[in-house]
Copies of this chain bind each other. A is one copy, B any other.
């Protein structure tokens, strides 16, 4: 018999036992002492809700598993609910239920937050609970904590990053091996870097979700995924990579968010040519990197693994510690300040350099004709090159590569439409944005 009452333990519930969830479950057990030390209170791991009863429990005690997540949240009275189901389905109602029950929430669910974060953050704030999501963006890189706490006084005006490892792996393959998109995708799937249905990754949806969250935090305004201009990598062809290399560049799927002087924002995800000397050019494989431009402290860069069970689980556990400490102290952490609603500029207002690539009739005076079309749309040429003809048979067409000065995207697309329609242009005009 103890003579003094122990403080209640911090009750933790886990939803979902997939790649990340299973590692979190193991760490909640294996690292219980460490967590208790950091949180300042013993933890009690009250259960794991996993609908798929056939899943291997991977050493986690069977008695912790239940199938009814809502029941675990309601009857288990958790202090902290860790949501690792993912997606827009069951997770939606379960997070709302957890908040309604007064639990703090840790999640890695970028899709749900980017779609309905404003509602969720509002619910959490009203209920006086935490909603943390470090693992939702860039895996192990502590960028969410940095943006929402450390950098609040830095005056962030731009974020540029590589935030999707699957596409980065595929682009690397297409760059280094000259592989087609289809072959590179199969290779990525074989190695476990791409899912069987790779749509969310290759069409830039995953990156757009993450970019929306980064922009929201960095600029203190709500940017939803529907505000993000998005272009994936599935339409890229080997010729794009050859042309990029010939111009000293690699192709990366870039996430970009800019805060303009008038308070409007631009947020976009698309492939771009990046000069080989650029810090983002050397980010390889499944790594992520995020560059943050600030008025007060210049450029910052963060680099690390963007995915994987243990890296992502480690980020989740870091959130559990902070949310747990807040819970013990009776406070909530920094709430996501997204009260502002900034104007989101359409992509047609984008200003960028562009690289155009197309075949033209190889006849005298052709450059003058091309130049006239460019000039009529205010597109100024920085560099024009004629590639060696790649066609196996001799032809009367030559491939032109045109690097523009910084140009308005609306003007550029009008120019491309006119070129596409011109008789002297003998191929589709390929358009690539150029970074840095």
Contacts and interface: CB of A to CB of B under 8 A. Distances in A.
Contact of A145 (B31, B35, B146, B325): B146
B305 A303 contact: no
Interface centre among A27, A153, A318, A325 (most CB of B within 10 A): A153
A139 interface: yes
A423 interface: no
Interface residues of A, number: 49
Contact of A322 (B149, B294, B301): B149
A135 B255 CA distance: 29
Contacts of A149: 145, 318, 321-322
Contacts of A27: 153
Given A38-B337, A298-B311, 16 more contacts: A35-B153, A134-B150, A140-B294, A140-B296, A150-B315, A150-B318, A151-B318, A153-B314, A154-B318, A279-B303, A296-B314, A297-B311, A299-B304, A301-B303, A303-B303, A330-B331
Interface of A: 27, 31, 34-35, 37-38, 134, 139-142, 145-146, 149-155, 279, 294, 296-305, 308, 310-311, 313-315, 317-318, 321-322, 325-326, 329-331, 334, 337
Contacts of A337: 37-38
Given A146-B145, A321-B149, A325-B334, A314 B294 contact: yes
A317 B295 CA distance: 14
A153 B31 contact: yes
Contacts of A31: 153
A30 to B, nearest CB: 10
Contacts of A322: 149, 334
